[in-house]
Structure 1
Amino acid sequence: MLSGKRGKAGAIKVCTTEAALNTFAKQFLDKDFQGEQVRFIILAEKIEIDHEYYISITYDTEKKIPFLLFCEEGGVDIEEVKAKDPQKILRVDINPLFGPSQKDLAKIFPKEPNFCDFALRLWDVFWKYDLRLCEVNPLARSSGKLIAVDAKVILDDSGLVRHKNIEVFQKGAISAIPTQRELAAKKIDAEDYRGSAGSTFIEFEGDIAILASGGGASLLVMDALLAFGAKPANYTEYSGNPPREKVEKLAEITLGREGLSGCLVAGAYANFTDIFETLGGFADGLLKIKPKPNYPIVIRRGGPRQEEAYIMLEKFAKKEGFDFHLFGPDTPISVACQKMAELSKKYKDQK
């Protein structure tokens, strides 16, 4: 589970017999725990701990540098220590070009060389794998050795393209198990850095496919649809002038779902996104859906080459037999959403 405070919630248990392990597994496997479904149980050897410490490296977004935190009280929430005894938490700012210096580390660690060595190894991991956080809690001293008993790592999604050998355990929306479409959509950006298409993709239980553009406008699309009584089948967006083929892939993934009663392509007025190319990609993806969709498709876009794009779409819809409803930037997004809700209801009533 990708969540903290598991020990306090009873999700970490010392099992001395096979029977105890089986009971624990039956209690948690495939059950909901802290909003997630438990899919695996990790077995680890119990060690005798002489003392527990806390150590982490993360970023200071104000100073724009990484820093290291160390506390001689580990195994507990660092927030609790900060609230009660903030002076116990020691900090070292790190020069991102050179890494932590032995001189600075020696000021905060107990007079044992193992701690400095561990901190340098932690920095190597943090820097090598483009991490946003690398936290070890507790860092245990056992029989004179330092052992990372538990750890939390947050990777920078933007750096994953440089670490294709890492198998990231994908997490869906609201801690859910990601669907095949959600996983497929994320791969679009992973394989092509130009623009964004599908990096955010969340499936719902509705029946109207969504391809939105523009952060705030995308949320407006969802809110307006719900306000008019319609139910989105997904939330996804494309922006930053993605090439035609990326939008084609996203459209194919989005529209490949069964039971749809409509599709809404909508967004704010674009400044840099080529409307002709992106809507051309949507049309290409639409042609790949079998059987051919006969539900209404509402498109509300504005921006570079929008008029040219709509002429192309009108000819495309007439030739291929699609039910297109085109709205330009003069039409409010909410009006286009209302039209989508009305057309979707009419489509379902006629079936």
Structure 2
Amino acid sequence: MKLYEFEGHKILARAGIDSPFFVVVSDLDEVKQARKRLKFPIVVKVQVLSGKRAKSGGIKIVKNEKQLFSFCKESFGKSFNGEEVRFIILAEKVEIVKEYYVAITYDTVRRTPFIMFNSDGGIDVEEIQKRNPRSILRIDIDPISGPRKKDLEKIFQSFSYSSSDPERSRRRIEKFPLNSSRIRSNNIDNFIDFCQRLWDAFTRFDCRLVEINPLAVVDNKLIAIDAKVILDDNGLARHKDLDVTSKGAISAIPTERELEAKKIDSDDYRGSAGSTFIELGGDIAILASGGGASLLVMDSLIAAGGKPANYTEYSGNPPLEKVEKLTKITLSRENLCGCLVAGAVANFTDIYETLSGFIRGLKAVRPKPSYPIVIRRGGPRQEEAYKYLSEFSKKEGFDIHLFGPATPISVACKTMVELSNAYKELQVTSAKF
């Protein structure tokens, strides 16, 4: 689980790592109250899970109330890098002497945690790696004993010599042993203590990543200006005391269709339909069945060159009324060029019942869909369902193509893409005349 910056600061604080004083606000009334606790200039930062906030205008320094309220008013409830801004940090501006980059994470290949350090903080680690990948110091950490003092001393000695010439620093590390006359002992002790506290936060709260960028020197102290923390989902049950906001699709601003789809299951416990509904940018509507099969459907469609208009699925033998509602919502999208109804072979989901719900929803869509519809299902009452679909298609004039469980999902998806492309070409040709 990714955490917002302010949530990351809370975790670091519990390990004894300082940050600038800040207040978290969620509306303009809270901004008014928080303003009384801070002096200008104030650093304002939108709270989203995506990176590069500063480059996208999500972090600014405001010098007066007009700038403060203008920024907050323009940010609250708006989309920032595809996420809804629900919180903003108002932080004191501190005088920074020097900035660094430090992080602890896991190497999943070597199966060991490690610490990364760079003497140039405040910029993306990706940019650091592009400029000079060797400038990033990396040292593995024993998961039992934690970071070794001599390794942390090595890191400190490296960045204490020069931030502009990391290669020179590396050569000097090899040439000179650690010497107290070269490095102030109180500074190195502070650095070692800081890294040990960072390791404490990483292990105590079951983190996958703890990143501070920048780590700043302020009044001869190390301060976490920003905090990026990712918790291990498998360890969340052990940390119910953590005050964190649930994450996932809710971080993005839900569309009207997404909200309507979630209502389907709210008052009917029978099966599941629409509890997961995500609008995408394509033109082929998706009604998948089963979580695993639905992912295969999406992958196969994209691999065949198709672009899904949405992701949703139904499962657990939902009644036809719920499938009907989900169908109406899914097919209400404008400019569709196809509809794919697909899933694995069901064990107990009534294929006739669910596809009858699809037909009822299809009949209610206006204007009447003229695009191709591909259905690939299998399970109880499948033959009865397909007979009904075939008769319905001929009678009502829908372009429905039926495939049974003997046809691979990948083949059905490829057929869907071919039919959709032909439909689009026909639309273009018709428009010319």
Q: Does 1:116 align with 2:207?
A: no
Moved more, 309-318 or 61-70: 309-318
What secondary structure, in the 3-state scheme, does the structure 1 residue paired with 2:198 have?
Answer: helix
Q: Kindly state the Cα deviation for residue 43 of structure 1 after the two structures are TM-superposed.
A: 1.0
Q: Kindly state the Cα deviation for residue 47 of structure 1 after the two structures are TM-superposed.
A: 2.5
Q: Distance in 2 between matches of 1:35 and 1:116?
A: 34
- Identity %, equivalent residues: 37
Distance 1:32 1:167, change over 3 A: closer
Match of residue 335 from structure 1: 415
Q: Give, as a single letter, the amino acid of the residue that structure 1 aligns with 2:311.
A: Y
Cα distance per residue 1:155-190 (max 9 Å; x no partner)? 556777887874235458xx96233665777xx9xx
RMSD: 5.1
Moved more, 7-16 or 330-339: 330-339
Normalised by the size of structure 2, how large is the TM-score?
0.53
Q: Give, as a single letter, the amino acid of the residue that structure 1 aligns with 2:376.
A: R
Q: Kindly state the Cα deviation for residue 18 of structure 1 after the two structures are TM-superposed.
A: 1.2
Cα distance per residue 1:253-291 (max 9 Å; x no partner)? 565446368742136xxxxx5434456498189389879
Q: Distance in 1 between matches of 2:142 and 2:360?
A: 52
Distance 1:53 1:158, change over 3 A: same
Q: Distance in 2 between matches of 1:17 and 1:46?
A: 13
Q: Kindly state the Cα deviation for residue 137 of structure 1 after the two structures are TM-superposed.
A: 0.8
Report how many aligned residue pairs link the two structures.
Answer: 312
Identify which of 223, 233, 237 aligns with 1:147: 223
State the structure with bigger RCO (CA 8 A, min sep 6), 1 or 2.
2
Identify which of 57, 61, 69 aligns with 1:22: 69
Q: Kindly state the Cα deviation for residue 150 of structure 1 after the two structures are TM-superposed.
A: 0.7
Cα distance per residue 1:28-77 (max 9 Å; x no partner)? 56777666675653211223334333211223232133322123432233
Match of residue 245 from structure 2: 167
Match of residue 201 from structure 1: 278
Match of residue 170 from structure 2: none
Q: Does 1:310 align with 2:382?
A: yes
Distance 1:83 1:256, change over 3 A: closer
Segments of structure 2 that go 5 or more residues without pairing to the other structure are: 1-47, 157-187, 266-273, 289-293, 428-433
Match of residue 57 from structure 1: 104
Q: Distance in 1 between matches of 2:412 and 2:331?
A: 29
Distance 1:313 1:340, change over 3 A: farther
Q: Distance in 2 between matches of 1:115 and 1:13?
A: 28
Q: Is the 8 A contact 1:327 1:336 kept in 2?
A: no
Q: Distance in 1 between matches of 2:327 and 2:209?
A: 33
Identify which of 63, 69, 92 aligns with 2:139: 92
For 1:126-275, list aligned pairs within 5 A.
127=206, 131-155=207-231, 166-170=244-248, 177-179=253-255, 182=258, 201-204=278-281, 208-211=285-288, 212-214=294-296, 215-220=298-303, 223-224=305-306, 233-236=309-312, 243-244=316-317, 253=326, 255-257=328-330, 259=332, 263-266=339-342, 273-275=344-346
What secondary structure, in the 3-state scheme, does the structure 1 residue paired with 2:214 have?
Answer: strand
Normalised by the size of structure 1, how large is the TM-score?
0.63
Identify which of 56, 62, 69 aligns with 2:116: 69
Q: Give, as a single letter, the amino acid of the residue that structure 2 aligns with 1:100.
A: G
Q: Kindly state the Cα deviation for residue 135 of structure 1 after the two structures are TM-superposed.
A: 1.1
Q: Give, as a single letter, the amino acid of the residue that structure 1 aligns with 2:245.
A: E
Segments of structure 1 that go 5 or more residues without pairing to the other structure are: 189-196, 227-231, 268-272, 347-351
What secondary structure, in the 3-state scheme, does the structure 2 residue paired with 1:4 have?
Answer: coil
